[in-house]
Structure formats: C-alpha cells, structure tokens
Amino acid sequence: MINIPKGTKDVLPQDAYKWHFIEDTAAEVARVYNLKEIRTPVFEHTELFQRGVGDTTDIVNKEMYTFNDKGGRSITLKPEGTAGAARAFIENGMSSGVLPAKMFYITPAFRYERPQAGRLREFHQFGIEVYGSEKPDADAEVIFAASSFLQKLGVKDVKLKINSIGCKTCRARYNQALKEYLAPNLDKMCPVCRDRYGKNPLRILDCKEEDCKKITAQAPRITDYLCDECAEHFNAVQAYLKAGGLEFTVDPDIVRGLDYYTKTVFEFVSGGIGAQGTVCGGGRYDGLIEELGGSHIPAVGFAAGIERLILLMENTAVPFPEEGKPDIYFAGMDDESRRVAFSLALKAREQGIAAETDHMGRSVKAQFKYADKIGAKYVAAIGGNELEEGAVNIKRMADGQVQKVNFADINAYVLNGK
C-alpha cells in the first residue's frame, strides 16, 4: 500500500463539513469587509519567495519545497500566500486601479517542517491583503477582520498580541542596541541566532530555543526605539482597537517570521493547542511591493492557519454546524418501482431537494434502515400498490408520522416541510 506523505493530511468526507464551515465563515467575513478573492498559482519562481519572504527567514532557508522543472527553472511550492498576491497585484497593474485593493485568499501552503500537532508540511491559510493605504485605520481594520473571523467561528480564549517593529530608520537604531546587548552572550546562543546576529538581529527575538529565549528576555525593546512617525502610527492603531472594543496586549517579542514586515505586527494566540498556539499572524509590510519591483504601495494583511483552527476548535469543544442530510429517501420494492423511485429522486433533485435512493439492491427493510442511518428526513416506499394509485405514504422519520401524497405533489410536500 502507498501511504500519504509525512506531514500531509486527507480531509475525509465525514469531516469536510468542518472545512466548509471555516471556508464559509471566511467568505462571510470577506463579504462584510468588502474583500474580493484572489487566486494565484500553487507554484511560483523561487526568486519570488527569496525576495518577498526574505532570505534570512526560516521559511526560505530551511522550509521551502524547491525543485527544478523540466525546463531547468527553479520553482517553489508557495510557503505562504502574500508573495503570490503581491506579485499578481504588480503584474496586473492593480496599483493604477481602485485603491485600496482589498483581497482575500484561501490557499494550500507548503513548508518542509518537522510535523507535529498543528504543524504540517501541507497546510492551508485564510489570509487577507489590503494594498494602498499607509494609514493606521487600515491596520486596525485588518485586525478587526481577523478577530471577527475567529469570533464567528466561535473560537474561545484567543488573545491578541500586537507590537511595532518600526521602519528602516528606527529598526537600524534598534538593531544596533540589540547587537550591543547580545554581543557578550553570543557564544551561548544557537548557531542559527549567531548567523542572524550578522544578517537580521531582530529575528533572534523569534527564536524558540530555550537558551536564546533566556538571553533575549532582558533585551532592549523595539518599542523604546521607534521614530516619531512609527510611534504615532502604533498609538493610532491602538486607539482604533480600543475604540472598537478589542482587547489586546503589547508584546515586544512579537516580531513575525517574515522579513517584509514594518510597523504593526500582531498575532492571535491560543492556549488550547499547546506550543503551536498562533492561529493567526499578520501585520504591515510597506516595503514588499517595492521589493518585488512595484511602486511604493503600502500593505497590511494577515494569514490564519486552517488546520490549527480546526485543531483548536476540536480541543476546546467548539461545535461545527453539521451539514444538511438528505431530505427524502425513495425506496423501491421490485424492478419497476425501483425505476419509479429513481426518477422521483431525479425530479426531487431538480427542485433542489436532496434525495437518495438505493444502489445496493437492498430489501425494503434494509433500505429503511439505510435511510435512517444517513439521516433522511422523509422516506417514501414505492411498491405495486403505490404504482397503481400514483400516490405514496411518506413517513417523517423524526416522529413516524405518515402522510399519503400523490407522486405529482411529493416535491411540494417535502419543500413545505423543509
């Protein structure tokens, strides 16, 4: 037997309703926030992610599924959704269209990571992208959209943490201070952080190694180094969050895993799924579009991990609404009544009624049992008498109530009782 690749998962038919609930909720948030869907390819030129995600990140350094295609081009399966959306925005000249461009996506993403609960090699993200506004209210709107998504799902005990990582100017000053602080302890840090020290010291705050975490606990805080503009922006974002009644804490350790962030960064974190607690992360990335060859277009967005959300909801007993069951089951006794049952089911479906009939050659008794198992609301058993009369007793499975209905009136009867 051939097994599923490590770090990937099937969504089986009996669980698909959980995904539909998440996707429908995402679409509903998108509708009320006026976000339009963007779909981009699952693979892109590797360079897009090297530039757009950043070559000092774990994603680009360790986690990408990269291969040469038959034409010798370096191709990478998308490890996240933003870079592709940004590329499409630039390539399709959207900066000269209506701004802000407000978009959302639901996409698979691929990262070569060590699989564990809430961490997969193929996972899915719901994300939003708002391009064209540098204003703090755009950051706040994106955060509220994420919050509303989680709230509509019924997710409990998720905390919002925000931070600002400044702009090029203030980050340079901060990096200097951080490096001075870290220098005496550099030999105690992990090799990855020693490398980050030279390339992108801010990333050290994101390290999950205990030794590094101990050292960075007392490190200078970026929020003490923000330039006037960044500090003002950060204050304004907080004022919008407060005005909308959203609780949050400022956490200077939130720096996000991607290189393209500027100013606001945020995470929604849950205690309900252990170490992989971040269900949604986002922020502002004003430099990204330019980095990818576009004009200066400020941007803000987030991505939420769908598998992590499902895991969290399962672990904390948040209910998923079940999907519809068949409205009516048509049982048939012999060849002729089976053909009638078959065509009555077809006619019902034409009217939008979910109808089922037998394909297993089961006895009428076994068909009733099956109808009960699949949760059919009504059962109509067709035999010789019914064919003669052109009418059938329809049984309501919930209470056993029976009603005689002419074949021609079945659809109306079922629709009425829906």
- Minimum Å gap between C-beta 344 and ligand ATP is 46
For the sheet containing 74-77, what is the strand order?
43-45, 74-77, 66-68
Q: How far apart are CA 299 and CA 290, in angstroms?
A: 11
Number of residues that bind ligand ATP (CB under 6 A): 19
- 58/327 with CB nearer ligand ATP: 58
CA distances from 216 to 185, 221, 330 (A): 10, 10, 68
Question: Which listed residue (23, 113, 195, 291) binds ligand ATP by CB under 6 A?
Answer: 113
Q: How far is CA 289 from the centre of its chain?
A: 23
280 contacts ligand ATP (rule: CB under 6 A)? yes
Q: Which amino acid is at 183?
A: A
Q: How far is CA 290 from the centre of its chain?
A: 26
Question: Which listed residue (120, 128, 160, 215) binds ligand ATP by CB under 6 A?
Answer: 120
297 contacts ligand ATP (rule: CB under 6 A)? no
**CA-based nearest residue to 358, from 383, 378, 329, 390:** 329
- 43/110 with CB nearer ligand ATP: 110
Q: Are 340 and 382 in contact (CB under 8 A)?
A: yes
Which stretch in 24-32, 283-291, 305-313, 331-339 sits in contact with ligand ATP by CB under 6 A?
305-313
CA distances from 143 to 25, 98, 302 (A): 16, 22, 8
162 contacts ligand ATP (rule: CB under 6 A)? no
Q: What φ, ψ does residue 61 adopt, rounded to 5°? A: -75, -35
119 contacts ligand ATP (rule: CB under 6 A)? yes
Question: Which listed residue (125, 164, 216, 411) binds ligand ATP by CB under 6 A?
Answer: 125
- Minimum Å gap between C-beta 183 and ligand ATP is 26
Determine whether 156 is exposed, middle or buried from the number of CB atoms within 10 Å of its CB (0-12, 13-18, 19+).
middle
Question: Which listed residue (90, 303, 340, 345) binds ligand ATP by CB under 6 A?
Answer: 303
* Site map (CB under 6 A) of ligand ATP, residues 55-94, x = contact: -------------------------x--------------
Question: Which listed residue (87, 102, 263, 308) binds ligand ATP by CB under 6 A?
Answer: 308
- Minimum Å gap between C-beta 377 and ligand ATP is 38
Q: How far apart are CA 305 and CA 301, in angstroms?
A: 14
Binding site for ligand ATP (CB under 6 A): 80, 111, 113, 118-120, 123, 125, 257, 276, 278-281, 303-305, 307-308
